Structure 1
Amino acid sequence: MINDYKINITAHAGCMDTRMDSIESIEAGIEFGADIIEIDLNVDKDNNLILSHDIPKEEIEYPKFKMVLEMMKNQKDILLNADVKNPVMLRWLKNVISEYESLDRVFLTGLTLQDIISNKEFLNGLHYFVNIGISDLENIKLEKLLNELEILNVLGININHGLATSELIAACKERKMITSVWTVDDEEDMKKIIGFNVNSITTKRLDVLKNKISEMQIEIME
């Protein structure tokens, strides 16, 4: 699914100064050559899957998830990262993705360890990361944490750039777990995270990150 031989660029759900969770943001991600498009996936009062980071408001019409899946049909080389904001949707999410024959091109983030444990039956057949927070890193030894993740069959970890360390990334790679880091918009932060050799970096500044990766790869080759 995810190319683990390079650093994949993930377009944030509000990349390149576009409105959050908008069709324009997805189009910008495609235009600027992102490997992965991120969307915030939520559910409204009628159980429709929609794009919204926050709790949906009845008076607002949100883009529908099915519209995005239809858009991505023609983008065969781009993956879709659905950041789950309400785990209740997991009960029927697989069916919706299957309807568009996109199970191999959509993966989930936003899920905690407990979300995965509580919804294991609904996640069968889906690709998903576990979101790692500061409490996970503080309360559990790294080796024990990674052992638990292997049992849960996750693709890997999704972590805020402020919590990512070279030790954590290296330990995940040893176990062949994919590492995804968000949201990296500052150039110095980009340089640090690129240096960790992670598998995916989520950013709003696609053009800056693309150039920074190229610059650093050239430096390594020289």
Structure 2
Amino acid sequence: MAHPTQLGFQDAASPVMEELLHFHDHALMIVLLISTLVLYVIFATVSSKFTNKYILDSQEIEIVWTILPAFILVLIALPSLRILYLMDEINDPHLTIKAVGHQWYWSYEYSDYSNLAFDSYMIPTQDLAPGEFRLLETDNRMVVPVESPIRVLVTADDVLHSWAVPSLGVKMDAVPGRLNQTAFIASRPGLFYGQCSEICGANHSFMPIVVEAIPLQYFESWSSLLLENA
């Protein structure tokens, strides 16, 4: 598992995040090639002593520098639009969870169960167990089954929040009075950390998100145990 505070992207834990990483590398390579070409042209222009004061225009060069950038933009736009539609697609979710943002904690309601809901607060630094991450651990994690389409309904109780888990490629605004939805598939078991990504007040940085992905049989046992204790 990638460290949640590392520089750059975390390791992908969902198919959509894998696509986002591939698109990032694709776009970065195009930017690198363009930058190399521009730097070479600048260096060649500055270091060359050849001049010709009678050259006023060149139709061929103008055609090339008009068509080539348009072609490059198409190379970037097509995969970008594909991923945009993939992120917006929600097909036959196996589980629906409602995430409600509060000042300053998250509440989770498992809509497919009659009485399965809990609040998720950040664990104070002095109560952390060895190996747990400061400002990122919660007392109750959002538990989901692995390799199952999960739909998350996101809203807020007071002000704007944003439910975001980078390694799952998920980020959705929580707006009071509005129900937004997003979806993800956890492709492997593990703990995936996120934080509220909307400046929501004084304790904005103290309402983390922890998604725990576990095999389906363990998820069924976990949900049965919570329902028995409810």
| Larger strand fraction of residues | 2
**After TM superposition, is the score higher than 0.5?**
no
The TM-score bracket by the shorter chain reads under 0.3
| Larger helix fraction of residues | 1
TM-score, normalised to structure 1, is 0.23
